[in-house]
Chain A
Amino acid sequence: MMQRKGKPKRAQPLLKAIWRANIDDHPIGLAWSPDGKSLAVAGVSGPITLFDGADGAVQRVLPGHALDTMAISWRKDSRLLASVGQDGKVRLWDAETGTQISEMAGGASWVERVAFSPVGDWLVSAAGRKLRLWNSSGDLIREYPDANSTITDIKWRHDGKHFAISAYNGVVLYDPAKSAPLRRFKWQGSTLTLEWSPDGKCIATGDQDSTVHFWIANTGKDLQMWGYETKVLELAWSFNSRYLATGGGTQVVIWDCSGTGPENTRPIMLEGHQHLIKHLEFQRRGMLLASGGNDGMLAIWKVNKRKPALLVDAVFKAPIAGLAWSPDDRNIAVSDESGILSIAAVRR
């Protein structure tokens, strides 16, 4: 393209590498401690490495799970890390000392999900159809009746008052203080993942049948979005609950939930990936969206209705395995399937 005469030249944004590491394993979880001081990365073979968030120095290597670690979650105070794995266990680690505080039975051979409450002391784990609520000493508070099928995701509402699980047949909403579910959002299909809007009003889901749903939490109303290339595993809300970015293909599809909502609107489409998008993360308090794909590309987008733009991209050797913005939104942590871990800042 020809550059128009007289147009002032603007400095290109760039990704400035802060530090790099290689865990030489397929990274599973990629989780900043809430205080931003540590970045925890679990390798599929088991060990969990805690890196110093500032310089990448290895703080601790936790043994994790002998038969593959599957998920990790930090407690709000950054002192405790929970992990689950294919040894059937939920483990709690003291991040400071690296010692295991507790080891609990998840209820089935593969424990796939774990989530600490964003405010309190509660921890939820899912193994197959088993759903268990624990406190952070590792005491079992409650075992719920089995879910309809394997639980695919657990997410707490941002105020910690409710949590929701997804499985075949949709979403079930719980209050951690009660044993009976609050509400069921039913869908005849396999729901793979869910995300609460930060204002807690809406639960978005991604489904195996290539649909995205918006469930209005207090009415149970379902808005269905279809037309995706493939199953949708990638969902990210903007902090103001206005935009939901979704994957399910090679384009980022962003629904605008302002005004009367996303129904019957044309989504914003971001093109650039050559292969399926696998990860999407919005900044916690900003409008930058990071996307990572099977093509190994990391892209940082500026999202707005009028003129969304690709700010900067970088290509990794292997498909992107994980993305996480640092709690202060300054840095993005990226891992690829070869085990490369890269922390970079977006500079303009």
Chain B
Amino acid sequence: MMNTANTRVPVTVLTGFLGSGKTTLLNRILTENHGKKIAVIENEFGEVGIDNDLVIGAEEEIFEMNNGCICCTVRGDLIRILGHLMKRRDKFDYIMIETTGMADPGPVAQTFYVDDDMQEKLHLDGIVTLVDAKHIWEHIDDSDEAKEQVAFADVILLNKIDLVAPEDLERLEARIKSMNSMAKIYRSRDAVVEMDKILNVGGFNLDRALDIDPKFMEPEYPFEWSGIYQLKAGTCEWVMGEGPDPTMGAALLPLANRGLAAQEATLMEAVLTFSEDEQAIAAGEMMRLGKGQYNEFVLNESGETVFNVAIQEPGYYMLFTEHHPDEFDARLRGAQTALDPLETREYKPDHEHDEEVTSVGITLPGDLQLEKLNGWLSQLLRERGQDIFRMKGVLSVRGWDKRFVFQAVHMLFDGRPDRPWGRDLRQNKMIFIGRNLDRAALEDGFRQCLAS
């Protein structure tokens, strides 16, 4: 009698600012021959049948429940419209909901948790956010909606990449990853993307709760960038323009060869070097080379600042910088010409001082005590529920043979045991995405839940 999980119709929510390409993507989905019968709920007026599919115009009616708590804000129009749609004999295979450019995706996602009828017949598959790769910079710093749209997303489509330079795209992708490390990021022009990248992604599927970018769980580095240079004996200059900070940390380390193993070894040396006390280097002074030599370049108040670099042994070197050199228009200059790196690499920074919306991932070996965990999570969601947009985790609970998987949207929590641990290492993984997250406090709170 009751609809079971696998007969529920998947729903994808499409968000993105005006002009990011939502309509183009929707038209593509509707016209592409994918053999699915799709209902689209969009913001424009009117109801149109397109071949097999149906487009319904809806007016966003967001209402609060339980006296104004944002976490229980839902979309009343969706409950009504989807409720009617699900009665049709001719069932839809898929439902897409387009939100207005300025919408916070929270209420849409919460609608599928709060309302029993919705939960029984539909399941939220994922939130797809389109980002206009060129114009996002106008919003990303000061628009809460833009940040929330990035933060809630399971899939982020960087669209209109043909309008931006490759390095700007790299910078954008790094920025977005620092905000939401859980999302899959794809690049597109004219919103061309394979359907299976955006439909049935299982973002809200507990079975795939931690099917996340493994890079997210990789260690964090105290630097953001490295470049490999081939340098001759002699002197060269490190030239920096004005940038966001008055100083920048850096280390220059010899590299045995360009092989991966050598790079990894040098990387580890760089991590150690960055933990040393920094040595201030003023304009015209000589940069210190090698392991343990952590330089802090002090910039002139305005204009370019030039630092000297003396190379005794010719060969490969790896330069590590605290910030991306592009932020300071920084480069290495030889006698006459610029010295370009042979290859570069970017690192996820461990400091997100200028980012309000971030992701915090925590891995903790051991077993958790369920009561402690419940207590901590409910307190956390009570106090910080408005700022925690999404949460996912796979947990090892003491006394349970099975993994406990869960995910949450704001305060709404969904969790259950899934497959047995078997021979896998029992450990706990959790990801928070939200505003003003305090990593140390989250780690500490999580650790307190370990069974003693």
Q: Which residues on the A side are within 8 Å of B120 (C-beta)? A: 294
Question: Contacts A45-B88, A128-B59; is A296 near B1 (CB within 8 Å)?
Answer: yes
Q: Which residues on the B side are within 8 Å of A337 (C-beta)? A: 87
Partner of B116, one of A28, A109, A276, A295: A276
Q: Which residues on the B side are within 8 Å of A152 (C-beta)? A: 80
B1 touches A26 (CB 8 A): no
Q: Which residues on the A side are within 8 Å of B59 (C-beta)? A: 128, 150
Question: Contacts A44-B89, A296-B1; is A190 near B65 (CB within 8 Å)?
Answer: yes
- Residue-wise, chain A 215-255 has the 8 Å CB interface mask toward B (1 for contact) of 00000000000000011000000000000000000000000
A208 touches B47 (CB 8 A): no
B46 touches A208 (CB 8 A): no
- Residue-wise, chain A 165-185 has the 8 Å CB interface mask toward B (1 for contact) of 000100000000000000000
Q: Which residues on the A side are within 8 Å of B87 (C-beta)? A: 26, 28, 44, 337
Could you tell me the distance between the alpha carbons of A321 and B218 in the complex, rounded to whole angstroms? 53
Q: Which residues on the B side are within 8 Å of A168 (C-beta)? A: 61, 63, 76
A275 touches B76 (CB 8 A): no
Shortest Cβ distance from A109 into B: residue: B47
Q: Does A149 contact B (CB under 8 A)?
A: yes
- Residue-wise, chain B 70-100 has the 8 Å CB interface mask toward A (1 for contact) of 0010101101110010011110000000000
The number of chain A residues touching the other chain, given as a range, is 20 to 34
Q: Does B57 contact A (CB under 8 A)?
A: yes
A209 touches B65 (CB 8 A): yes
Shortest Cβ distance from A28 into B: residue: B87
Could you tell me the distance between the alpha carbons of A337 and B89 in the complex, rounded to whole angstroms? 10
Q: Does A54 contact B (CB under 8 A)?
A: no
B76 touches A150 (CB 8 A): yes
Could you tell me the distance between the alpha carbons of A230 and B74 in the complex, rounded to whole angstroms? 14
Could you tell me the distance between the alpha carbons of A111 and B72 in the complex, rounded to whole angstroms? 28
Q: Does A291 contact B (CB under 8 A)?
A: no
B84 touches A70 (CB 8 A): yes
Could you tell me the distance between the alpha carbons of A110 and B57 in the complex, rounded to whole angstroms? 10
Q: Which residues on the A side are within 8 Å of B88 (C-beta)? A: 26, 44-45, 68
Could you tell me the distance between the alpha carbons of A189 and B62 in the complex, rounded to whole angstroms? 11
The number of chain B residues touching the other chain, given as a range, is 20 to 34
Q: Does A52 contact B (CB under 8 A)?
A: no
A294 touches B65 (CB 8 A): no
Partner of B1, one of A44, A86, A319: A319
A189 touches B65 (CB 8 A): yes
Shortest Cβ distance from A70 into B: residue: B84
- Residue-wise, chain A 261-299 has the 8 Å CB interface mask toward B (1 for contact) of 000000000000001100000000000000000111000
Q: Which residues on the B side are within 8 Å of A149 (C-beta)? A: 61, 63, 76
A150 touches B80 (CB 8 A): yes
Helix, strand, loop or mixed for chain A's interface? loop
Q: Which residues on the B side are within 8 Å of A112 (C-beta)? A: 80
Q: Considering residues B63, B81, B88, which has the most beta carbons from chain A within 10 angstroms of its beta carbon?
A: B63
Shortest Cβ distance from B57 into A: residue: A109
Could you tell me the distance between the alpha carbons of A61 and B120 in the complex, rounded to whole angstroms? 32
Nearest-neighbour CB distance to chain B for A19, whole angstroms, equals 23
Q: Which residues on the B side are within 8 Å of A319 (C-beta)? A: 1
Q: Does A258 contact B (CB under 8 A)?
A: no
Q: Does B67 contact A (CB under 8 A)?
A: yes
Q: Which residues on the A side are within 8 Å of B303 (C-beta)? A: none
Could you tell me the distance between the alpha carbons of A26 and B56 in the complex, rounded to whole angstroms? 20
- Residue-wise, chain B 109-152 has the 8 Å CB interface mask toward A (1 for contact) of 00000011000100000000000000000000000000000000
Q: Considering residues A26, A209, A230, A319, which has the most beta carbons from chain B within 10 angstroms of its beta carbon?
A: A209
Could you tell me the distance between the alpha carbons of A70 and B67 in the complex, rounded to whole angstroms? 31
B57 touches A231 (CB 8 A): no
Q: Which residues on the A side are within 8 Å of B1 (C-beta)? A: 275, 294-296, 318-319
Q: Does B173 contact A (CB under 8 A)?
A: no
Shortest Cβ distance from A87 into B: residue: B47
Q: Which residues on the A side are within 8 Å of B6 (C-beta)? A: none
Could you tell me the distance between the alpha carbons of A45 and B89 in the complex, rounded to whole angstroms? 8
- Residue-wise, chain B 45-59 has the 8 Å CB interface mask toward A (1 for contact) of 111000000001101
Partner of A109, one of B45, B61, B90, B115: B45
- Residue-wise, chain B 17-54 has the 8 Å CB interface mask toward A (1 for contact) of 00000000000000000000000000001110000000
Q: Does A97 contact B (CB under 8 A)?
A: no
- In the assembled complex, 9 residue pairs joining A and B whose CB atoms fall closer than 8 Å, in A order, are A28-B87, A44-B87, A109-B45, A110-B47, A150-B77, A188-B67, A208-B115, A276-B116, A294-B2
Which 6 A/B pairs are nearest by Cβ-Cβ distance? Answer: A26-B87, A209-B65, A230-B116, A44-B87, A168-B63, A190-B63
